[in-house]
């Protein structure tokens, strides 16, 4: 990863195959998180601090990134300028609440341009107006504090957002569970595994509907036995 040493705006982004994005969009982040595997799935998942502004939000699209100096949001305007329909803006100022990164006017323009959502590692303001617009936003803070617009700034470079590395063109998936970043190199793997997981869950629901208990549907009885855990048909007082 090359870190810029001065302000820069890259106008172009390598985006994933639209057909692969469409396949990913069928799933919530839980399935795709599982599909990435135990290590990548955790490394690519933002923390519970990254919350949706409104219930029922969903987003799936390639990242356009913006690094902002604390208290400043110049970079988000450059990112808005370079972004294309279907993109997700991913913004950070390091996570501080000083200077709101995102508000309703930016939302209005993003929505008109065809962007599908914004992820903010920092503060969002005009929350009620954004909810009325119906534009999906996730944020780690809410504050009306006035931002400056003087930089320094960097757009479409790798950034760290809520502890997760985000490179331009990575797939951003968000819903009520949070936000997941899927590196382009792992997208096919994540989607294929999510499809297999979804098929398994269809079978689980069928068996539950036919009267089986979840303990057996998930193979917990065998797992408990293999771990040497004893199931005793008595209370703990009776076993003393």
In the annotated binding site for Mg(2+), the residues are 126
119, 90 in Cβ contact below 8 A?
yes
Strands (E) across the chain are located at: 8-9, 51-52, 59-68, 88-92, 117-124, 137-142, 153-155, 159-161, 164-166, 171-175, 178-182
Residues whose CB is less than 8 angstroms from the CB of residue 61 and which lie 6 or more positions away in sequence, other chains included = 21, 86, 87, 88, 115, 116, 117, 171, 172
Please report where in the chains the tokens 């757009």 appear, as a residue: 155
Per the annotation, binding residues for substrate are 103-106, 125
Per the annotation, binding residues are 103-106, 125-126
Cα(92)–Cα(198) distance, rounded to whole angstroms? Answer: 33
Cα(160)–Cα(145) distance, rounded to whole angstroms? Answer: 23
């Amino acid at each position: 990863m090359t870190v810029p040493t001065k302000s820069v705006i890259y106008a172009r982004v390598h985006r994933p195959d639209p057909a692969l994005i469409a396949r990913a969009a069928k799933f919530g982040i839980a399935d795709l998180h599982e599909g990435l595997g135990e290590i990548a799935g955790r490394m690519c998942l933002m923390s519970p601090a990254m919350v949706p502004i409104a219930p029922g939000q969903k987003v799936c699209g390639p990242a356009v990134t913006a690094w902002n100096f604390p208290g400043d949001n110049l970079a988000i305007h450059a990112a808005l300028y370079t972004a294309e329909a279907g993109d997700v803006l991913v913004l950070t100022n390091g996570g501080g609440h000083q200077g709101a990164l995102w508000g309703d006017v930016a939302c209005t323009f993003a929505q008109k341009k065809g962007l599908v959502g914004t992820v903010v590692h920092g503060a969002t303001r005009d929350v009620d107006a954004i909810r009325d617009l119906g534009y999906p936003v996730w944020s780690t803070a809410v504050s009306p504090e006035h931002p400056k617009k003087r930089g320094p700034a960097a757009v479409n470079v790798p950034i760290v957002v809520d502890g997760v590395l985000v490179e331009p063109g990575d797939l951003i998936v968000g819903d009520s569970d949070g936000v997941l970043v899927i590196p382009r190199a792992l997208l096919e793997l994540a989607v294929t595994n999510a499809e297999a997981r979804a098929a398994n869950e269809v079978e689980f629901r069928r068996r539950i509907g036919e009267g089986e208990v979840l303990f057996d549907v998930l193979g917990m009885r065998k797992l408990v036995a293999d771990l040497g855990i004893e199931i005793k048909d008595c209370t703990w007082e009776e076993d003393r």
